[in-house]
């Protein structure tokens, strides 16, 4: 898979990462089957990975779709390096790690990643705000912390970031287009924000500089997930044009 594609291509679905944040293997596979082959990626996070095990990655890939493995690795450098190797053996095209793990940990991950895998550094979670940061001893604001962590990651060899839509313009101003940005916290107009504190619509996030858009419940919880995805893509194409 070419992970350098962006949501602004002729097919808007190519830049949409569908979050399979579901409690069971059966529920996830049912959605993946309805939407496969998806030209973008399916995100498999901690909930599903723990419930269904590594085979869920293989099963989704066997449906003809690519996988964004969102495990947010954060451990000692050797452990993270070995975890990256394991994720590579599953065929994951994207993998996340927490940039707060520091330069040595990030470097171990970069060295372990194969050429076809896009490692993504997580800056500040979209469910977090300044109160959250202050609770954990970070005295600066969200944007400042995002830029600080992004600088560490890019300086250590990462080519991808995960950041909320509200920090996109600042990241593009600091790093241009040399880094790919995956943006969660995407909610189509009128959709419930749920636990996302820093959200935007798909078109707003693209305009701010996102390469990939992570969308979950507005698609996976819809009565007709395929129709929901098509509606989002049609609106996105109309808004971008």
Residues that are catalytic:
72
Residue 108: DSSP 8-state: H
Tokens 């065929």, located at residue: 91
Distance separating alpha carbons of residues 223 and 68, to the nearest angstrom:
24
Angle at 225 (CA atoms; ends 162, 57), nearest 5 degrees: 55
Measure the CA dihedral 162/179/146/201, to 10°: -50
DSSP-assigned beta bridge partners for residue 85: none
Measure the CA dihedral 76/165/219/53, to 10°: 0
Distance separating alpha carbons of residues 183 and 168, to the nearest angstrom:
8
Which structure tokens are listed for 57? 């990655």
């Amino acid at each position: 898979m070419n992970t350098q594609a962006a949501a602004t291509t002729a097919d808007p679905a190519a830049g949409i990462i569908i979050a399979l944040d579901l409690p069971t293997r059966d529920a996830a596979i049912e959605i993946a089957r309805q939407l496969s082959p998806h030209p973008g990626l399916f995100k498999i996070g901690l909930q599903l990975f723990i419930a269904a095990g590594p085979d869920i990655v293989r099963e989704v890939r066997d449906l003809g779709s690519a996988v964004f493995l969102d495990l947010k690795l954060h451990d000692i450098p050797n452990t993270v390096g070995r975890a990256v190797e394991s994720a590579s053996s599953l065929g994951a095209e994207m993998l996340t790690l927490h940039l707060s793990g520091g330069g040595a940990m990030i470097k171990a991950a970069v060295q372990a990643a194969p050429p076809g895998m896009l490692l993504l550094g997580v800056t500040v979670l979209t469910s977090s705000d300044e109160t959250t940061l202050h609770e954990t001893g970070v005295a600066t604001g969200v944007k400042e912390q995002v830029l600080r962590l992004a600088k560490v990651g890019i300086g250590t060899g990462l080519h991808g970031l995960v950041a909320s839509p509200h920090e996109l313009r600042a990241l593009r101003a600091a790093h241009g287009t040399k880094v790919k940005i995956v943006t969660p916290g995407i909610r189509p107009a009128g959709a419930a924000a749920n636990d996302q504190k820093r959200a935007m619509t798909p078109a707003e996030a693209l305009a701010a500089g996102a390469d990939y858009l992570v969308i979950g419940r507005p698609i996976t919880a819809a009565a007709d997930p395929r129709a929901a995805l098509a509606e989002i893509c049609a609106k996105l194409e109309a808004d971008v044009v």
